[in-house]
Every structure is written in structure tokens, then in C-alpha cells.
Structure 1
Amino acid sequence: VIYVARNPMDIVVSFYHFHNLANFLPEPGTFGEFLENFLLGEVHFGSWFEHIKGWLSHREKFNFFFITYEELKKDLRHSVEKLCNFLEHSLLPETIDTIVRHCSFTNMKDNQMINYTLVPKEIMDHDRGKFMRKGAVGDWKEHFTEEQKEHFEKIFQDKMRDSNIRFSWAL
């Protein structure tokens, strides 16, 4: 199992923007309304908390590789090397260079096979936003009020208290 996690405050922001451009999903409402629905697990795909805790509870049962989006952003090359070690598959340095180049946010943002720009407007309305927006760690700071941040942190601490997982909230 390969599990890529991301700090949930950035996930809320990303998912909110995705809801704005995805015509097949319900209107997200205001960011504050969407945040509350996210914290309650009442968004498309359900509860983030239950999803991550559910998978982490199986770490010992499966051959499990856990990595965060923040690690990928901080050092993509090292992350690819760690994944190769997990898969017990060695790659030539130039192959890793190619993977890193193709998996960079900039390249993926420009790749029509990844950025959803080929998807019809009836499904994804790119006039309302982009699927690959910023790719930034810590973008939540541009969206959360101080009150929302404190509320989120309280719920996060409560729901994740039995977890030893740590996220980078900014780089």
C-alpha cells in the first residue's frame, strides 16, 4: 500500500476549490460552510479523519509506505528514492531525474493528461478555477480566519489524539 497524505488544512482549501470547478459535485457554499462540512465528514468522499485513521490502523498488516505531500514538495528526489527502496527496485540516477522532472508541480500543471483541461466543461468548468492551482504547502493561511484555525486545531487534536502522525503546516 502506498498512502500519500497531506496536511488537512491544505486539503480543505484544495477540496473547496475543486468543488467550485467540478460541476458533478454540489456547490460548496462559503469556505466557512465547506470547512464545517469537512470537519463533520459531510463532504464528497466522507471523513478525512476516518479515512486516514482507517488506513493507518492497517499499517502492520500490509506492506505500507506512508509519505506526505509536504515531504514530496520539500525533497521530491529523496521521496522518489525512498519509494524505490520500498518497492525494492533500483533506478539509474538519470531515470530518477526524469521522474522528478515529470512529477514536479510545474510540469504536472502544464500536462493536459494530468491537469483535467481536456475534461469537458460540463464536468469541470475551468472558467471557475484550475484543477492544479498552486501546489503550495501552507496555502490554508490565505483562507482560514484565526477563529477557523483554532476551531480546526481543536477538532484535529480531538480526532487525531491517538495518532502519532505529524504534518508540516508550512514549508
Structure 2
Amino acid sequence: MVQQKYKVLSNQLFSHKGMVLPFHYACDLTKESLDSLEHFEIRNSDVYIVTFPKSGTVWTQRIVTMLYDDDLPKDVDLVTMKCIPWLEYLAKGNNYNSGPSPRLFCSHLQEHLVPRGLHEKKVIYITRNPKDILVSYPHFSKFLLTLEQHKNMEETLEKFLCGWVGGGSWFDHVKGWYTNHDKYNILFLSYKKMIKDLRSAVMKISDFLGKSLPDAAVDKVVGKATFKNMKSDPKANYEFLSNCITKKTGHFFTRVSGKLLLNHLSQNERFDKAFEERMKDSPLRFIWDITELH
């Protein structure tokens, strides 16, 4: 597939090399900055959290931040976003190369856009079933100014299926990372499984990162990483962001389910048809309802 170069799609979105991203005026996010990431210098101790938007990114950020608590500065009470900044959303005036090791990053980039030096380095990739992501988008768009607000779920569905949302095509994102997983030292986790058994997920992440924690320390991380505590945690809930970025009319953390889409039979059938066609050659399987987990 030929990857198109830079193209403005709307006041909120642009595409570059096959991926759609939101404009972010507080960050140096340009076609030049994206291209420069190809040669970004990777350190052996780096850790990267990668997701499609609304797949548990900040949840995983918070878990990893707590697991690296001993490695982070003690003189500054850092919020999660500063402990684990966005690779592609470099705040103006910042320089990631000057930071101490270990460096922790998160990203929504598709696999073909990440630094080539990331091969064989540690990546945590979270998957979430796309119906849940689709239904959560309207809630999230009420919170961030950088996201388009759609008229209704029909418009959201249309743009999600054609990849005209921040993050681009969910299908390309997930398949791209899974198809190329052997190039990386990568841990795949399921959002639904994290909900079902958070302690198991924390232990998997801890083991992957080489962190040996006693049971009491694991319990503490699990307790702070529950949905209830994350939603009220000022270090994690992103509601500290300024009014130039947020609308303050929505919430960063919302618990929704793709089952809501079932109330609209035609939308559900259309999504299922597109999913079956786009994912027919993929071995990936998704959990649509947490009751599927026993």
C-alpha cells in the first residue's frame, strides 16, 4: 500500500504516511518531527507503551510509573504524563535526549512510524476491542479540544471505519504491530483481561520490566490502579490540563461498553461486517464481553 505524505484533513486532523493524527498546538507535532523520529536515539533501558487511543494507555502509564517509583526523582511530585511523556507529542522546548535513564515513553504511533532503533527493545502493547473504543470516543471528544466532535454515533462509526479519527485506522494499527511483533521485545496485554484480573496484569508487566516486587508492593500498585482511584487521582486523570487543551465538559476516564452499540442493530451489523472483512487473516481474537472470561 502506498503511504501518502502530509495532508490536512480538517481543522483538527492531518494525515502523514498512512496515519491520522490530531493537531496539537502546544507540541512540536509536525510532519518533520514525525519523520525525525525514525532516527530517534533509543537506549537499552527505554520502555515504550504503545496503544491505539482509548485502549488503556493512561492506565498502563500509571502502573508503569508506580513500578519505576524508585527510579524517578523524589524531589518533584510528577504527574503521570510527565513521568511517561508522549514520544510524538514533544512539548515545545523539551529535549528527550537530555533526560536520565531509564526513559519511559508512550505512543499512539503505528508500527511503521516508530524509531527504527526500537527494534528488540521493550514495548508494552495494549489491545482493546474496537467496539468499546468506538463507543468511548464521543465521551472523550467532549473532554479534549484537539478531537473532532461528531453529530451522532452514525458519523463516529463512519469515520472510525475509514480511519478518519485520531490514531487513524484501528485495523492498520493493531495488525501492523501484531504482524511485526517479532522485531520487538514486546508484551501484548488485553484491556478486558486487565479489568478482569488487574493483579495478574501488574505482575506480568512487573516481570517483563525485570521488577521484582513483594506481594505487599504489588497489592499497593493494584489498589492505586483501580478505575475508581484512577478517576480521582490528579496525577493520572489528565484533568489538570489547561483550558486551551480541554473543554472541561467531559471526563478523561469513562467506563463504557461496546454492548451499547447493540441497541442500533444496523450499526452493529455494519461494524461486524467490516471487522470480519478487515481481520479475516489475523489470528488476533478479542473479548467483546467480560463475561467471556472465566
Structure 2 equivalent of residue 75 of structure 1: 197
Alignment of 1:22-171 (within 5 A): 22-127=144-249, 129-134=250-255, 136=256, 139-144=257-262, 145-171=264-290
CA offsets 1:140-159 (integer angstroms, 9 cap, x no match): 22244111111111111111
Letter in 2 for 1:165: L
Counterpart contact for 1:28–1:34, Cα < 8 Å: yes
Identity %: 39
Cα separation, 1, equivalents of 2:152 and 2:241: 25
Counterpart contact for 2:143–2:248, Cα < 8 Å: yes
CA root-mean-square deviation: 1.5
Runs of 4+ with deviation above 6 angstroms = none
Cα separation, 2, equivalents of 1:120 and 1:86: 35
Cα separation, 2, equivalents of 1:121 and 1:142: 30
Unaligned residue ranges in structure 1 (runs of 5+): none
Calculate the TM-score normalised by the size of structure 2: 0.54
Larger proportion of strand: 2
Cα separation, 2, equivalents of 1:95 and 1:14: 32
The 1:116–1:88 alpha-carbon spacing in structure 2 relative to 1, beyond 3 Å, is closer
Unaligned residue ranges in structure 2 (runs of 5+): 1-122
Q: Which structure has the larger Rg over C-alpha atoms?
A: 2
Letter in 1 for 2:207: N
CA offsets 1:52-96 (integer angstroms, 9 cap, x no match): 111111111211100011010000001111222323332110110
Counterpart contact for 1:20–1:28, Cα < 8 Å: no
Letter in 1 for 2:276: Q
Cα separation, 2, equivalents of 1:16 and 1:161: 28
Length, aligned pairs only? 167
Calculate the TM-score normalised by the size of structure 1: 0.91
Out of 140-149 and 39-48, give the one that drifted further: 140-149
CA offsets 1:4-55 (integer angstroms, 9 cap, x no match): 1111000111122211222222222211101110011011221111011111
